[in-house]
């Protein structure tokens, strides 16, 4: 699939509510599956990634009933999971695979997790090692990638894991396994990663210990979960409004978790006119409404390394913004982007270079010097975030921009093109 964009004919204006947060949606389904009783989830993201998690939970025994905009999920309890009759297909979702691996590593039955071509290239040693340290038995492909073949154990030992990387997926995988382990399981990280698991576990009746830890044998009880709008999806519209002259957008019900709000800090540092209003808490998560208005050409900045975990998913669209900002934007400490759905640093660098942007790529980051951006053809490499970032840049390019490899936008933001067009953007499917 291809996206075609043209320079926006006028300002972007209006209101949007971004789709439900993908990270929270995955966790809501998995936790509800493990809980005893009937949980209600509203605002769940309807994307291919989340549907893969939903299907897997149904294969493990969860019941599901749709009631209007809500899902009523009948949990089976942590010890009530059923052996799946077939391997579990995680599609393109690394989050689903890594979190469910933590759960399945503790079950008395064998299971297999696999995914599409992209997911089959993503590193799984980062979860296999700590799970093996806990007593799990897991096989991967020769290079440490999926599929994951998990041999039933039913007996794990709690550990303290000092993670070498800041990864919410790794942390969450270990904590979920720790619910089944003997003793206490704790995790530390070099930098704080997103904490949706730590926010949601208490809502399901599990109390955290030692900062980021759980006691083995803790049981989940049913809960009500309201999934806020995904700040990673909202980020595309924040950047679009910051780029297109005269724009004024209001984004409602945006998740503002402190471990995810780096995009707001970055935009403000670059000189964007952005404000947050109506802050509130819903289901343990802070939400609010974000207004962003065009304030002229923004300026490049040196991104602090400790901001990276809080905006790792937004770096592709930040690079698009940097391409038309004054000066140079420098990003370091972002090597994790090389093992996402694509090598995002390389995909963005190659695309920006084709559009005439001056940049220098490093092992863990990139320097982008802003200037003029031409039209042309770029490759999103099947990566939803890269493809959408190029589409946003296309709103201010100096000609038509065609984005190849855009089909995986459906994994996180199926309504992206329609939502952008609804506020005045120039985008269409080819």
Q: Which residues are catalytic?
A: 313
Measured on CA atoms in the order 201, 253, 248, 291, is the torsion positive or negative? negative
Q: What angle do CA 336, 341, 345 make, to 5 degrees?
A: 50
The burial class, CB within 10 Å (0-12 / 13-18 / 19+), for 96 is buried
Strand blocks (E) in 59-120:
63-67, 70-76, 88-89, 111-114
Beta-bridge partner residues of 75? 37
Strands across the sheet with 224-226, in order? Answer: 63-67, 70-76, 36-42, 224-226
CA distance 234 to 239: 9
CA 82 remoteness from chain centre = 28
CA distance 188 to 204: 22
Query: For residue 314, what is the DSSP state?
Result: G
Structure tokens at 285: 């998560």
CA distance 368 to 358: 6
């Amino acid at each position: 699939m291809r996206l075609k964009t043209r320079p926006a004919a006028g300002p972007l204006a209006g209101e949007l509510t971004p789709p439900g947060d993908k990270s929270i949606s995955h966790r809501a389904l998995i936790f509800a599956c493990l809980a005893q009783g009937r949980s209600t989830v509203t605002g769940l993201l309807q994307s291919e990634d989340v549907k893969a998690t939903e299907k897997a939970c149904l294969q493990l025994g969860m019941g599901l009933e749709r009631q209007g905009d809500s899902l009523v999920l009948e949990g089976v309890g942590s010890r009530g999971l059923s052996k799946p009759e077939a391997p579990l297909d995680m599609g393109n979702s690394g989050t689903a695979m890594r979190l469910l691996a933590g759960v399945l590593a503790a079950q008395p039955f064998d299971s297999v997790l696999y995914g599409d071509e992209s997911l089959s290239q993503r590193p799984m040693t980062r979860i296999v090692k700590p799970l093996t340290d806990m007593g799990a038995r897991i096989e991967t492909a020769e290079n440490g990638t999926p599929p994951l073949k998990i041999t039933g154990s039913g007996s794990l030992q709690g550990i303290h894991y000092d993670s070498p990387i800041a990864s919410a997926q790794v942390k969450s995988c270990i904590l979920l396994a720790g619910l089944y382990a003997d003793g206490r399981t704790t995790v530390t990280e070099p930098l704080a990663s997103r904490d949706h698991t730590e926010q949601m576990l208490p809502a399901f009746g599990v109390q955290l210990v030692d900062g980021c830890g759980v006691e083995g044998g803790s049981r989940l009880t049913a809960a009500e979960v309201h999934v806020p709008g995904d700040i990673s999806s909202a980020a595309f519209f924040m950047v679009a409004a910051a780029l297109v002259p005269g724009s004024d957008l209001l984004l409602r019900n945006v998740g503002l978790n402190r471990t995810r709000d780096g995009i707001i800090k970055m935009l403000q540092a670059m000189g964007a006119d952005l404000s947050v209003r109506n802050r509130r808490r819903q289901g343990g998560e802070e939400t609010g409404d974000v207004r962003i208005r065009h304030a002229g050409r923004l300026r490049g900045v040196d991104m602090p390394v400790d901001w990276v975990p809080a905006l790792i998913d937004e770096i592709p669209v930040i690079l698009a913004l940097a391409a038309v900002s004054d000066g140079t934007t420098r990003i370091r400490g972002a090597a994790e982007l090389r093992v996402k759905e694509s090598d995002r640093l390389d995909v963005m660098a190659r695309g920006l270079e084709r559009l005439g942007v001056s940049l220098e790529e490093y092992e863990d980051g990139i320097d982008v010097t802003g200037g003029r951006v031409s039209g042309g053809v770029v490759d999103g490499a099947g990566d939803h975030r890269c493809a959408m970032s190029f589409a946003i840049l296309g709103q201010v390019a100096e000609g038509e921009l065609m984005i190849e490899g855009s089909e995986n936008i459906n994994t996180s933001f199926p309504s992206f093109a329609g939502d952008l067009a609804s506020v005045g953007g120039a985008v269409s499917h080819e």
